[in-house]
Structure formats: C-alpha cells, structure tokens
Amino acid sequence: MRAAAGTEGTWRPGLDTPVRWAGVVTGLAANVLVTFSPDPDVDLLYGFPVFGLCVMAGLFAADLIARPQPGWLRAADMTPRRIRDYVPRSLTIALAVQAVALLVLLAVAVTMASADSEGRPGRALSVTCPAGTYLLSPWPGSVHAWPVLGGLALGTVACALLLRRITARSGDDDQRRIKARAAVGAWGVLVSAPLFAVSATMGLGVLSVPCQGATNGGAISALAVAVLISATTAGHCLCLLLLPQAYVKAPS
C-alpha cells in the first residue's frame, strides 16, 4: 500500500536484466548438465519446473539487487497495490484454465495407464479391440504425473510469493509490471509446456488405437486443440519472460 507521505525514488535497474537472464541460462544449463531421471520422457517433465524455478530465482535475485535510489519526499494517496493490477490478466486467466486442464488430463491418463511390455507400471495404454488387446506406449502415467504435479505446486507457490514481493516493493510502476510479467511468463512455461507434452503424448497414443470410433475421434480433436493452444501459449510465455519490457505498453 502506498503511504500518505514517504520517500519516493527513481528505480535503478542496474543488473536487473543480466541477473534475470542469468536465471534463464542457469535453468537451461541445469537441464543440459543434470539428469533427473534415466527415462528421457520423465527427465523432460522434470526439466520444465527446474527451468521455471531457476528463472523465478533469477527474478528474485534481480529484485534484491535493483533497489530504488533515494529520492525526494512527496505526498501520495492511500492507494492499495494489488497483484492483479500488474500481471497480464487475460494471459493469467488462460494459464489458470490450462493448469486445470493439465490436472484433468493427468488424472485421466493415470487412471487409464497400465504396465508396459517390460512390466513397468503407469507407462502404457492397454486397449481391447475385436482383433485382440494392444499395449500402446509411451503413455503419461503415474511416473510422469509426479514431476508435473510437484513442479506445478512449487512453481505456483514461488510465483505467488514473487508477485507479492514485486507488488509490495517501492519504485516505478513500469518496473513492477516488467517483473510481474516476467514472473507470469516463467510460471506460464511451467504450465503450458507440460500440458503440451502430456496432451501430445496422449493424442499420439489415442491415434494409435487400431479400433477407432467416434469417442476416439472426439478425444483426438480435443487433444489436438490442447496441443495447439499450449504450444502457442508456451511460446508467448517464453517471449514474455525473456523480454517483458516489450509488453509493458501492450494490452493485458
């Protein structure tokens, strides 16, 4: 909340952008250098939250470094700062919807998953057709759900705390919007990228079912829409976290 009278200063970006980019580079390096699972598909799902959390850590470090310079005393109205005034509202709502869709798809996938040909649970889809029973893999089962759910939970909490800190800090409103948009972009990658991976894997699995029907056709269409929307959103969020200042004047 803005005080009725207090010290107002000009924002000193300093190392703000380099530190934010250092978080991006750290996230990429962590995924290249560290193997989180021996299975490449599971390792990829661990990589998304690692990248997003590293970017948020970079934003937090940048916020610690870029302190406002001392300025002059001025009077100001008692106007509460709200997080929703600084984040891109339409994108945030779209990401919340995609997060719910991701949870629903994971619940469906885990319920339908079965052991693969090597006996490993939660890695295949068992389908019974008139010609026989087929085992289709890969399929996003329980082994894939844990990194997605854990990353989504940690990322959501980290993003909420980061946005609260950014909103409460003194300084320039444009700088708050820049940092808030970068934080939402990092959370967006953490949401939309796993949604793309899960929906694409499920779509390929359903598409491989030998005995196609109307239900399968509807599922394939819905999953194709999820793939398209999540891919587009992930690209937009990546641009947002890399160059948030380009979106400050853009409509939410």
Tell me the per-residue pLDDT of 235-249, one tens digit each, with 9 for 90 and over.
999 998 888 777 666
pLDDT at residue 159 in the model: 94
Characterize the bridge pairing of strands 72-75 and 5-8: antiparallel
Q: Which two tokens stand for residue 149?
A: 């759910």
Q: Is residue 9 within 8 Å of 70, Cβ to Cβ? A: yes
Residue 227's pLDDT band (boundaries 50, 70, 90)?
A: very high
Neighbouring residues of 127: CB distance < 8 A, sequence distance ≥ 6: 133, 134, 135, 136, 209, 210, 211
pTM: 0.85
Percent of the chain past pLDDT 90, that is, above it, reads: 39
Q: Which two tokens stand for residue 173?
A: 């409103």
Cα three-residue angle 203-234-191, rounded to 5 degrees: 75
pLDDT at residue 119 in the model: 82
Identify the CA nearest to 156 among candidates 130, 184, 131.
184
Tell me the per-residue pLDDT of 13-25, one tens digit each, with 9 for 90 and over.
455 677 777 888 8
pLDDT at residue 3 in the model: 39
Identify the CA nearest to 113 among candidates 123, 100, 127, 128.
123
Cα three-residue angle 242-181-185, rounded to 5 degrees: 55
Neighbouring residues of 225: CB distance < 8 A, sequence distance ≥ 6: none
Tell me the per-residue pLDDT of 175-212, one tens digit each, with 9 for 90 and over.
888 888 999 999 999 999 999 999 999 999 888 888 87
Name which of 18-22, 66-70, 129-133 the model is least confident about. Answer: 66-70
Q: What is the mean pLDDT of the chain?
A: 83
Q: Is 122 left (phi over 0), alpha (psi -120 to 50) or beta?
A: left
**pLDDT higher at 214 or 123:** 123
Three-state secondary structure call for residue 3: coil
Round the CA-based radius of gyration of the chain to a whole number and report it: 22
